[in-house]
Structure 1
Amino acid sequence: MPEHPSSPSAVSATSFPPAARAAVVTALRAAGCVFAEEEAGLILAAARTPDELTALVQRRARGLPLEQVLGWAAFDGLRITVEPGVFVPRRRTEFLVGQAVTHAPDASLVVDLCCGSGAVGAALAARLGPVELHAADIHPAAVRCARRNIVPLGGRVHAGDLFEALPTGLRGRVDVLAANVPYVPTGEVALLPPEARDHEPPVALDGGADGLDVLRRVTAGAPAWLAPGGCLLVETGEHQVPAAVEAFTRAGLTPRLAVSEELYAHVIIGTRS
């Protein structure tokens, strides 16, 4: 089920007549957009000319995620740049950010692994204040996009496969390691909404046979990178929690499960002793 779009209350679309708004709503409804009224407000606010409005509506009607149409996503109070072909940050992942801040309010070195757009890292930097921030992803488009969000905050974005991308000088120093790993089982990727299935990179969605392949790799490698008392935070599916907790324990991390019923979010926090 699609998440509710960003609220249009903070923007206005005064440059277009009411008839234009009605036409956009009609077009979005015909395309199957659940939140057509709200999306219309955001698209109208983003368009600068009638031709641009038409192009934006057509892109959304073809199934592009709203955030890729707008060029940004609302995440934890921030406006995160999102480019075509990049994983769109989910609002439920804000729960992971909140858990990280609660668990490590004095963190000074933060790593956003499998960073996608860099939304998690940017949100942690905004909440924690001045930190040494690093982000990494294997997908070139994600790396380019994350740099637009992370570099202005003084952070660095690295390209590569998980820990191989990180500077070796970070080993044993990381206070917060946030890893929004892909956790959709391979056999269920085809069942995802078309917005995700057709317009987000498979590497950001497909977690292997049971959805936990990348999670297991991250938990196995995390202790070498965490500072004493540092924590790894990973989001996973409800049915995957027992196996995910086992992976944390096997790696020598002390796991704790945090759940948000409102956001339907399940986050495992693993602490290095």
Structure 2
Amino acid sequence: MAPLHPDRSALVSRLRAAGCVYAEDEADLLVAAVDSSDALAALVDRRVGGEPLEYVLGWAEFCGLRVAVVPGVFVPRARTALLVEAAVSVAGPAPAVADLCCGSGATTLALAARLTPRWLVAVDLDPTAVACARRNLAGRDVPVLQGDLYDPLPPAWRGRLDLVVANAPYVPTEAVALMPAEARLHEAPVALDGGADGLAVLRRVAAGAVDWLAPGGHLVVEVSDGQADALCVVLTGLGLAPRVLREPEWDATAVTARRPG
């Protein structure tokens, strides 16, 4: 089949007029994704209409991996690479790992590539996210369970997890309306809304970690920079030992918390 020869300048101009900051890069990705002018026009119409680029393409890049995404599922953010780095740094050999609020399974997939876990499981409440994560983790012997945080985990794992990872929603409810339209209009609210102060879900994740972590195990979560201190107070009150990690280049903040051994 002959390669496409679209008017790249016109395509870039149309994307830029629609508010796409990286119009040149997006144009190249859209052209590479199709094999006909009609298909390209359909994708461009979707993007210009405000649909996230990742939904239009059907994938997002995360930690050097191509992760499938579908409409409604939380799109992996580059900043979450810090969460992965933090988790790897505290995991230890052959860890037992649970990834809560897994969304597309991007973090689980990155951890599977970086660790050699004896157990690895992903959990999400949203059935659309669960189906997407199962697609991304197919063939890796990693179960993806549907349910609320720790609820679907095997009871025998209680007190035996070395690592609990969670990219839980942490946007304060009133701030969701201020998010970019691509997120607030297209991603599932359950993946964004963290309650009045943004920490409602993370408090539950932290409380459950006390029961589910093995002695010496770690909880690792993502949070905003302004919420880190408040979360550390919660973690300390639960008897966990927190540490804050920041990566300004990624505008990323992660918190690790160790259960005393």
Match of 2:97 in 1: 110
Identical counterparts, % of pairs: 56
Query: Is contact 2:245-2:253 (8 Å) kept?
Result: yes
Choose which of 30, 40, 54 in structure 2 pairs with 1:43.
30
* Shift of residue 129, structure 1, vs aligned partner: 3.2
Match of 2:154 in 1: 167
Match of 2:175 in 1: 188
Q: Does 1:54 align with 2:41?
A: yes
Match of 1:7 in 2: none
* Shift of residue 131, structure 1, vs aligned partner: 4.1
CA RMSD of aligned residues (A): 1.3
Match of 1:4 in 2: none
What TM-score comes out, normalization by structure 2 length?
0.96
Match of 1:24 in 2: 11
* Shift of residue 152, structure 1, vs aligned partner: 2.4
Match of 1:6 in 2: none
Query: Is contact 1:186-1:211 (8 Å) kept?
Result: yes
- Measure the CA separation in 2 of the matches of 1:268 and 1:221: 16
Choose which of 197, 206, 210 in structure 1 pairs with 2:197.
210
Choose which of 11, 15, 31 in structure 1 pairs with 2:3.
15
- Measure the CA separation in 2 of the matches of 1:111 and 1:58: 39
| TM-superposition CA deviations, 1:134-185 (whole Å, max 9, x none) | 0011111101101011232210000011111222222122111110010000
- Measure the CA separation in 2 of the matches of 1:183 and 1:121: 19
Match of 1:145 in 2: 132
Match of 1:197 in 2: 184
Query: Is contact 2:96-2:163 (8 Å) kept?
Result: yes
| TM-superposition CA deviations, 1:72-91 (whole Å, max 9, x none) | 11101111111111000100
Choose which of 112, 115, 138 in structure 2 pairs with 1:128.
115
Structure 1 runs of 4+ aligned residues shifted over 6 Å read none
What TM-score comes out, normalization by structure 1 length?
0.92
Moved more, 19-28 or 46-55: 19-28
Q: Does 1:98 align with 2:85?
A: yes
Partner secondary structure for residue 194 of structure 2: coil
Structure 2 gaps of 5+ residues are none
Q: How many residues align?
A: 259
